[in-house]
Amino acid sequence: MDPRLARRVALAALLLGILGDLLFDRVALGINVPIAIGAGLVAATLFRPAGSRIDRLDLWIPLVAMLAALGVALRADPTIVAFDLALAGVATLAWMICCSGVALTRRSVDVVVAAGAWAGAWLGIGGVVVAGRAGSDGALGKALGSSRGALPIIRGVALATPVVLVLAALLASADAVFGKLIGNLLKLPFDLSDLAVRSVVVLAIAWLAAGALSIAAGGLPYRPESPARSLGAAARSRTGWLVLPGATEALVVLVAVDALFGAFVAVQVAYLFGGLGTVLGTGITFSDYAREGYFQLIAVVAFAGVLLAFAEAAAHRTRTFLVAALGLVGLTFVILASAAVRLALYLQAYGWTELRFYVAASMAWLAIGGLLLGILIARDRVRWLAHGLALGAVIVTLGVTAIGPQSFITDQNVARVLDPARVPASGHAGLDTEYLSELGDDAIPSLVDAWPRVDAATRAVLQPVLLSRWYQLRDDPTTTSWPSWNLARERARSALEALFRP
């Protein structure tokens, strides 16, 4: 990396560190997340190497990063926030790689995984490279009017400052006399421990930002050497790392698994169309039935996907292979439909919870994956399956964010209480107020809307919880500062204010 570029990266990273401290230090997550992600995306775009071209197929990546970041400002559900943060972080790092001139979307899985692994490691060590290159031409020493030999001293002071501040703050907090001595000696007009915390936050964010921006600037020591190749091509080549059975053996395995899955599906068809009475007739509870079906589904789909990947690498694309492979996909879809019906019966009887919602969302992702797998097998493009699964995960994650699980769960469960016709005779029609009161701010507007229609006992349970949350949203400085603005919290605050303000 050119020393002048390294200095610009270091300066930008420091500014991002200061911005990060202002946005996140002792501030709840909210609109500060899309601001930070947007700043990182813009900085990466500005630092891309001169003449480098960004692949048009990669332009969806920053859009996904911003949509996921906006999800943190729109939802307060901890699970949704965690998913959106992870998605925004991965997408932002992917954009750093794209800005460096490496196309990702059109690449094979091994290239994407390798680039991601290199980038993840570079986040930790890239700051060292930037710091070392920034003063390698002696410009810093000349600017300070000193010789090149003064640079190690300058870097040492820069590194020692936060260390000393942190240790001093710890010692001052551990010993009151020492703390008073430090305060009298230095006569600081500010809190030493607060300065130490802020310094650490700024430097930590700046360190990661330096590594990330050095990736965007082309400093990542990784470049894919050749276009994407399928697993089958690598396996069939002389230098392939994988030794697989022949086409006949692979086809036999496929047909045998098809037969096994077919027998299993034949048994499931009775439950798929048998409904509630059929399930109860087996002597299995709804809870056990739904859970067992789901984990079996995970095992089946995972096995089928791995098997098809290996079979595609080893077998010739004969008509028999295509029939066996597509048959396996179809049978897996029937199992998925059976599990979805079982979950629907469970929800009909007992209502929604967050776990059940995410089970349904994962089933949607598996359905997308199964549909893509069938299409890719038919078109001889199985090597793009991982790309399709990743895209499906993005779609489901953003869809879940748009729906808002907590508000959806509350609306559905309240509707079951207000309309008993929704609940079968053997189901549970009550409202689990303790569970609903544990949900986050996304659920509060729905609870307030239902307030006039629920019975007095339910209101008695919910009132102290909602009142306490109103006081918290109104008075807690971590949720009232502008960087912590969040749509779900604002809607909850307005709903509670309308309910409780005299």
Using a 10 angstrom Cβ sphere, with 0-12 exposed, 13-18 middle and 19 or more buried, the burial of residue 295 is exposed
Looking at residue 308, its pLDDT comes to 74
Q: Using N-to-C axis directions, what is the helix angle for 176-186 and 192-216, rounded to 10°? A: 80
Distance, in Å, from the CA atom of 164 to the CA atom of 476, rounded to the nearest integer, reads 32
User: What residues does each domain of the chain span?
Assistant: 3-216, 247-403, 406-500
At 34 the pLDDT is 95
| Residue 228 confidence (pLDDT) | 41
Virtual torsion, Cα 160, 161, 167, 171, nearest 10 deg: 130
Q: What does the DSSP 8-state code read for residue 430?
A: S
The Cα–Cα gap between 502 and 494 comes to 14
Whole-angstrom distance, CA of residue 242 vs CA of residue 428: 54
For residue range 374-428, list pLDDT tens digits in order.
888 888 887 788 888 888 999 999 999 999 998 899 888 888 877 777 777 666 7
State CA 339 to chain mean position distance.
25
In this predicted structure, what is the pLDDT of residue 241?
Answer: 33
CB 155: neighbour CB atoms within 10 A? 15
Burial string for 374-402 (b: 16+ CB within 10 Å, else e) reads: bebbeeeebbbbbbbbebbbbebbbebbe
The answer to whether 65 touches 41, Cβ cutoff 8 Å, is: yes
Helix (H) or strand (E) holding 172: helix 151-174
Q: What is the pLDDT of residue 232?
A: 41
* CA-based nearest residue to 62, from 30, 26, 27, 97: 97
Would you state the pLDDT for residue 248? 67
Q: pLDDT at position 66, please?
A: 96
pTM over the 0.85 mark: no
Angle value at C-alpha 6, between 4 and 7, nearest 5 degrees: 65
Q: Give 484's Cβ-side CA count (13 Å radius).
A: 16
Residue 81 tokens read as: 């926030």
The stretches in the chain having pLDDT less than 50 are 159, 174-177, 226-245, 275-276, 278-279, 286, 290
- What is the pLDDT at residue 110? 81
